[in-house]
Amino acid sequence: MPFQCPRCHAEIDRNFKACPHCGEPITDFQRRYADAPIDGKYRIIARLGMGGMGEVYKVEHTYLGTTRVVKVIRPQIADSHEAHDRFLREARLATRVQHPNVATLHDFSGLPDGSHYMVWEFIEGENIAQIMKRSGVFPLRQALRLAAQAARGLDAIHRAGIIHRDISPENLMVTGGSEVKIIDLGVAKSEEIDNAVTKTGIFVGKLRYASPEHLGVLDDGQKIDGRADIYSLGVVLYEMLTGRPPFEATSPHQYLMHHSSRESQVMPMPVLPASMPARLQTVLARALDRNRNKRFASAAEFASALEEVERSLDDSEADATIRMTPAPAPIPASSPTVMERPSRAPVIVIALLAIAFAGVLAALLMKPKASQPPIEPVITTKTMAPEPEVPAQSTMEVQPTTTTTQTRGERTSRPLVTTRADETSAPLSKPEPEPKPVVPTPAPTPAPSIAAYVEGGDGDANDAVLESAQRALSGTTRVAVRANDATWSAQLARILTKHDITVADDADVVIHFDGALERLGRGRKRRSATASIVKNGRTVFRYELKPEEYRVGDDPAEAFARILSDVLR
């Protein structure tokens, strides 16, 4: 029987895993409720996304005609009692909060197959991460108003005895009327409950917005409280104003060091540019203090401070924005800089490319006539050291030396390689002849590598990677598994077989997995993994689980398998 794609409404085979017309992934849940509403009253309109716990759908109440959001527990974890308990806890916590800046829970119920779902208010709008990706930084007044509303919503959550623990741009929705709604209490906890540990490791939330308390920097006997959410909201506000978070790193370990260190020289307090009001700098510095006793005592106090800053703005300050690059280049691992000033490098690169292009054009226009000898370019060559010949079968030790060739309008460097075979240096060859003059041309731009799904990374970016992989791998039923350990291979094969995927060495789709698990003692473990899926010789999916310590949770293969089941469904 045909199935209607919820995005483009084309008639497709209901066994398809993705629509062949628009690429929309089709889930088992959508197929199951294609002909009948969920629980007899919620008709699926579209899939909005998926999180660590559930799949999220936009639905219509068939009797009331209202639009709602249904969140259903993911089938991959539907058999987990821990997952069901956490899902139920989210619903029970949500019923405690009624506030205009917090999304409203309307219903919670079970389905005949034993799974559960919850019904949330549908928010017409975008989250702050989507807005920044589309439009860049926020004007000052707008950023202050939205942050103050979020703080008021947090105050209501805290007064209900709940800590959100995952305040981030993705969890702050903005409606068309410029009103903030806090969403996703999936990792929230009641204040009377000890810090929860989920199946994904010791930390729940996003490292970029984590407070020191999120990362376990607490004295004995202390527990996380609402001041951790204040810290996270301060990080979000800084990013709304500047386009980047106040503390940056290239690995979970660096984030832990930067966010948890109490030493100012390791993680200096972020400073807003001089164009921002000094009183705002004071407010942000207090919200982002690593010592929670020096932060605002409550989210309501933080909101009042932000509202006071907004009231004091004059017209020249009200619409001010800081023009920084929204997505800065990754920090090199050898230079873990916490803050960077805006660079003029892009302008210089563009200028150099323009000069090179002008040189090429001039060379073409000045092509000599047949009766005239060609005009040779002026070249000055300075050779600091000759380049030796490398024996074909020698064992090499590479030592960087520089050979510099300078031409008019161009300077290039190449490494000089010396070799060592059996602890003796290879004889140097004769110096190379001077290079022939070549008109400089711009270097070709390398093809970008495929983005990776990063465990615990940006939710929107990960969702985009998953959807791209699902389209590329739609209809896959046979795969080959290549792992660095036979245990991982067997484990992945068992999981794939459970999901009706045949494992065969001659399959066109090959899964490459490289995992590491180290037991540190006293219940502590360290895990990491990288993986890729290659289809017909082309990489269509990459996965990264960066090195991290944990006590309770999945091993590397199990963590990858959870994502793999979404990719191949």
Residues marked active site are found at 166
Are 564 and 558 in contact by the 8 Å Cβ rule? The answer is: no
Q: Which residues contact 193 (CB under 8 A, 6 or more apart)?
A: none
Distance CA(42)–CA(30), nearest Å, equals 12
Residue 396: Cβ within 10 Å count: 13
Are 272 and 567 in contact by the 8 Å Cβ rule? The answer is: no
Half-sphere exposure (Cβ direction) of 311: Cα atoms closer than 13 Å: 7
Q: Exposure of 171 by Cβ count < 10 A (0-12 exposed, 13-18 middle, 19+ buried)?
A: buried
Distance CA(501)–CA(566), nearest Å, equals 13
Q: Which residues pair with 517 in a beta bridge?
A: 527
Cα 414–417–420 angle (5° rounding)?
170
DSSP secondary-structure letter at 18? B
What's 41-88 look like in SS3? CEEEEEEEEECCCEEEEEEEECCCCCEEEEEEECHHHCCCHHHHHHHH
Residue 96: Cβ within 10 Å count: 15
Go through the chain and tell me how many residues it has.
569
Cα 515–208–278 angle (5° rounding)?
160
Q: Exposure of 98 by Cβ count < 10 A (0-12 exposed, 13-18 middle, 19+ buried)?
A: exposed
Candidates 383, 534, 544, 376; CA nearest to 451 is 544
Give the sign of the dihedral formed by CA 285, CA 287, CA 288, CA 292. positive
Candidates 533, 530, 532; CA nearest to 509 is 533
**CA separation (Å) from 547 to 49, 121, 229, 323?**
27, 37, 26, 34
Helix ranges, 366-506 (H): 459-472, 486-498
